[in-house]
Chains A and B, each alone.
Chain A
Amino acid sequence: MSDAEEILVPLDSLAVALGADEIASAFFDADFNVVRTGSRGMHWLEPLVEVEKEGSRIGFGPIDPDDVAPLIDAIKSGDFAAHPKHLGAIEAMDWMKAQRRLIFARCGVIDPLSLADYENAGGLLALKKAAMMTPDALCAEVMQSGLRGRGGAGFPAGIKWKTVAGADADQKYVVCNADEGDSGTFADRMIMEGDPFLLIEGMAIAGLAVGATRGFIYLRSEYPIAERVLSEAIRLAYNEDVLGFDVLGSGKRFDLELFIGAGAYICGEETSLLNSLEGKRGEVRAKPPLPALEGLFGKPTLVHNVLSLCAVPAIIVDGGKAYAAIGVGKSSGTMPFQLSGDVRHSGLYEAPFGLTLRDLVEKIGGGTRSGKNIRAIQIGGPLGAYLPPSKFDTAIDYEAMIAIGAGVGHGGVVVYNEEVDLLEQARYAFEFCAEESCGKCTPCRIGAVRGVEVIDRIKHGEDHAKNMGVLADLCELMIDGSLCAMGGMTPIPVQSALNHFPEDFAFPSKKRTFGAGAEKTP
């Protein structure tokens, strides 16, 4: 073997779904030292194999099983560039260089299940520092950082922390919402698979800050690899006293448990999640009381998305002020944007708030993979708005998105080419809501079903004008009358489709040709 030290192959779900396990076995069988890492987020190049040589990481991808034998030859001969899938040094690639990775700094770089690697790469610094700080000082840093909840609502994290810290109770909890159900989002999954100790560290710091001695990660059942990595990481963290009755020798306790959901999108809503974590049906609760005061088992509970908790260690190490200086206006820090759909460069791209949709979709994403024109994007998951290219010069920050009737959500951006039929997408928004509604409030439970029916009538031209009116009314009613964001925001994709793409709701529509009973939906 040459002086190549290590072969790095992702264990990330997406890489595995494209054959990374077979690639890793092939290198292992050829007596290489194989390390499984997270993914770098360049998903159009997965499975992406990296070779470590003289401190530099040289990338090759996408690697098919047939590419392995020639790659082994290239490695042995030392002539890496001879391989057709040679990408050069990973860190020198445009996609990597232009990012600002605060959360994903280690993802794809280290062995996610080596606590030593984590520490060598700057991990645990924040928790060590936090163990010496007072709860007030910790909350103050988070407050000053301007961090807002990354799950979708964008609520200021500092206010939540202070509320839970200030509540008087014999038991408090930190609950991590890892029920990442939004289509087009996978950042939580990637960080849990690629750098699980970061989440554990963030949760332990939150526990010290708000006075909670117990934490739970509520993970969706659709993520079996994340489950395996997290369970092992938690076990290792207990072994090294990162978790347990004496967190890093601070004398403070923090216990952490992994809980697996059972297939319900609504459990990503925090009160529904808490009911589910209590073993009940995941129906939403009316607020108030706020979970910060009466949450899990009626006790004060800090509920945060994975990314919010993963942002905490950087805030504690560099200070809230430094974090607040990143980003724009009231949207401080970085956001891991997730690009998918018909886009050439799909994957995860972490950058400060403030870049435009056009930057993200055209410059970074490189336009469509199919070569067709972009007709729409949907930002923020199933409850997010559909936007036409005329809106692409909008900056991505919480306020600017709200101003155009959209939302950042969890940072997912799905690209649609000219073939998309926005009436079908609006119909799907209702269909999804009908399927996933918890059923507790009427506007959501019944409204979603009626929405599908009304759109079908519009599609077939039955009382067209009248049904367009009914649709507008229905959206308004669901926004005003629903108990949670599921029913309250399902109208967002519908209304945005109606506003920006009215031609798709006309009858007859160019998108659909009717004749001889045959109906064609492209």
Chain B
Amino acid sequence: MRPYVGRAGGLISALRAVQAEIGYLPSETEGAAATAFNLTRAEVKGVISFYADFVRKPKGETVIRLCAAEACQAQGSRMLEKEVCRRLAIEPGKTSASGDLTLEHVFCLGLCSAGPAAMIDGVLMAKASPEKIVSGFEATKELKK
């Protein structure tokens, strides 16, 4: 936390750093951040709950993000999501029982001109199809073994 204290937006940058390191923000983070930034625990919790990037529970080993915004809708993202959910037996916003996958919505990845867009563990995918997403997921899982 210390390198971020006294910097503009320091709390948010510190929380980002913690999450990048361990994948989520365990409840101990709140107390530690409150002490470091001289805030109340409620204020820190308020910031964590406000931003979509921050999570308080670990995500699945692989995270698939599907764009749900208009430009991708105009290129079939609604159907794509249904099909991906069916093939991977998962629901949007949920983590699989085995913990190998989290599927999330995202509003715009800036790839609107070649939609639908997706992101698998931070890797961007344009013109996404159910086949591309499923094979991308399998390949990512394989790499982690």
CB-CB under 8 A from A281, the residues of chain B are 46-47, 50
Residue of B71, B114, B127 ringed by the most chain A CB atoms within 10 A: B71
Docked Cα-Cα span, A410 to B124, in Å, equals: 23
Q: Would you call A222 and B74 a contact (CB within 8 A)? A: no
Q: Would you call B112 and A183 a contact (CB within 8 A)? A: yes
Let me know if A388 is at the binding interface, CB within 8 A: no
Let me know if A17 is at the binding interface, CB within 8 A: yes
Q: Would you call A276 and B107 a contact (CB within 8 A)? A: no
CB-CB under 8 A from B21, the residues of chain A are none
Which A residue sits closest to B51, measured CB to CB?
A: A262
Let me know if A340 is at the binding interface, CB within 8 A: yes
CB-CB under 8 A from B69, the residues of chain A are 183-184, 382, 432
Q: Would you call B9 and A221 a contact (CB within 8 A)? A: no
Q: Would you call B50 and A185 a contact (CB within 8 A)? A: no
Docked Cα-Cα span, A186 to B11, in Å, equals: 28
**Stretch of A284-292, A412-420, A457-465 lying at the B interface:** A412-420
Docked Cα-Cα span, A522 to B110, in Å, equals: 25
CB-CB under 8 A from B106, the residues of chain A are 222
Let me know if A279 is at the binding interface, CB within 8 A: yes
One digit per residue, 1 when the CB lies within 8 angstroms of any chain A CB and 0 when it does not, for chain B 94-127 equals 0000000000001111111111010000101111
Interface residues of B in 1-25 (CB under 8 A from A): 8-13, 15-16
**Stretch of A78-86, A242-250, A341-349, A400-408 lying at the B interface:** A341-349
Let me know if B70 is at the binding interface, CB within 8 A: yes
- Tally chain A residues at the interface, Cβ within 8 Å: 62
Docked Cα-Cα span, A281 to B44, in Å, equals: 9
Nearest-neighbour CB distance to chain A for B40, whole angstroms, equals 13
Residue of A13, A279, A425 ringed by the most chain B CB atoms within 10 A: A279
Interface residues of B in 59-118 (CB under 8 A from A): 67, 69-75, 106-115, 117
Q: Would you call A13 and B124 a contact (CB within 8 A)? A: yes
Nearest-neighbour CB distance to chain A for B102, whole angstroms, equals 15
- Tally chain B residues at the interface, Cβ within 8 Å: 40
Let me know if B53 is at the binding interface, CB within 8 A: yes
CB-CB under 8 A from B46, the residues of chain A are 281
Let me know if A162 is at the binding interface, CB within 8 A: no
Docked Cα-Cα span, A19 to B143, in Å, equals: 18
Nearest-neighbour CB distance to chain B for A385, whole angstroms, equals 12
One digit per residue, 1 when the CB lies within 8 angstroms of any chain A CB and 0 when it does not, for chain B 24-43 equals 00000000000001000000
Interface residues of A in 262-289 (CB under 8 A from B): 262-265, 276-283
CB-CB under 8 A from B108, the residues of chain A are 180-183, 185, 222
Let me know if A338 is at the binding interface, CB within 8 A: yes
Let me know if A378 is at the binding interface, CB within 8 A: yes
CB-CB under 8 A from B109, the residues of chain A are 13, 222
Q: Would you call B74 and A341 a contact (CB within 8 A)? A: yes
Let me know if A136 is at the binding interface, CB within 8 A: no
Interface residues of A in 337-393 (CB under 8 A from B): 338-342, 346-348, 378, 382
Q: Would you call B110 and A342 a contact (CB within 8 A)? A: no
Q: Would you call B114 and A257 a contact (CB within 8 A)? A: no
Let me know if A507 is at the binding interface, CB within 8 A: no
CB-CB under 8 A from A420, the residues of chain B are 74
CB-CB under 8 A from A378, the residues of chain B are 70
Given contacts A282-B50, A338-B112, A412-B112, contact A262 B12 (CB under 8 A): yes
Nearest-neighbour CB distance to chain B for A225, whole angstroms, equals 8
Docked Cα-Cα span, A198 to B87, in Å, equals: 45
Docked Cα-Cα span, A282 to B54, in Å, equals: 13
Let me know if B139 is at the binding interface, CB within 8 A: no
Let me know if A1 is at the binding interface, CB within 8 A: no
Which A residue sits closest to B126, measured CB to CB?
A: A17
Given contacts A183-B112, A184-B70, contact A257 B8 (CB under 8 A): yes
Docked Cα-Cα span, A128 to B72, in Å, equals: 42
CB-CB under 8 A from A417, the residues of chain B are 74
Let me know if A95 is at the binding interface, CB within 8 A: no
Q: Would you call A282 and B51 a contact (CB within 8 A)? A: yes
Q: List 21 A-B contacts (CB under 8 A).
A: A14-B114, A17-B111, A17-B114, A182-B108, A183-B72, A184-B69, A184-B70, A189-B110, A261-B12, A263-B54, A276-B12, A277-B9, A279-B8, A279-B47, A280-B11, A340-B71, A341-B70, A347-B113, A414-B74, A417-B74, A438-B50
